[in-house]
Chains A and B, each alone.
Chain A
Amino acid sequence: GQNIDQPTEMTATEGAIVQINCTYQTSGFNGLFWYQQHAGEAPTFLSYNVLDGLEEKGRFSSFLSRSKGYSYLLLKELQMKDSASYLCAVIDSNYQLIWGAGTKLIIKP
């Protein structure tokens, strides 16, 4: 079966750095997304990785290793507004988007 694993919940301190990991086992791979979702709102796009390596976009970076079936989202200089759920999703060989359950990130002052 297809499976995406990410931690259920993480806690970090304002101003610090946090890394949210995602491992996947899917039938084929056509890219990996990271989305941010605040409570009661729709997800918003953060990043898309299809090649190995690190993609940096401001305070957020995303890393992919296809051989390991592994990605992480790195958030720097954490702000209170970063408190949200972070969803990892993989496009499989049929171009279907397979979702992880999401990681709830709690930021403390």
Chain B
Amino acid sequence: GAVVSQHPSWVICKSGTSVKIECRSLDFQATTMFWYRQFPKQSLMLMATSNEGSKATYEQGVEKDKFLINHASLTLSTLTVTSAHPEDSSFYICSARELAGGLYEQFFGPGTRLTVL
């Protein structure tokens, strides 16, 4: 299957700082990328859907000014957590969607574990 990379794998930061997470589709072009968040023992929660060259669509309850998403190219999307606080500590996962042979497949990055002190 296609490969999606995420960087960094983990990050520890002080409260009030901003953190940028990169998501890349390595061997395919992804017109749509998704950002998810997962708290311990809970299901994945979609934060936003990102389409290349346009503004991201945020899910209800997700602050667009706090979680900045940029999808500047067909292979790269970034999520910036601005002024991070301890409650933002979570596992952030991106995924990229590929349409192949008339069927959608969605591939996930390895995730980024964010810890805000």
- Please report A residues at the B interface, Cβ cutoff 8 Å: 30-31, 33, 35, 40-45, 48, 50, 87, 91, 95-97, 99-102
Contacts and interface: CB of A to CB of B under 8 A. Distances in A.
Contacts of B1: 45
Nearest to A43: B108
B117 interface: no
B104 A41 contact: no
25 contacts: A40-B91, A40-B113, A41-B110, A42-B108, A42-B109, A42-B111, A43-B44, A43-B93, A43-B108, A45-B105, A45-B107, A45-B108, A48-B105, A50-B103, A87-B43, A95-B104, A96-B49, A97-B34, A97-B46, A99-B43, A99-B44, A99-B45, A101-B42, A101-B43, A102-B43
Interface of B: 1, 34, 42-46, 49, 91, 93, 103-111, 113
Contacts of B91: 40
Given A42-B110, A97-B34, A87 B44 contact: yes
Nearest to B107: A45
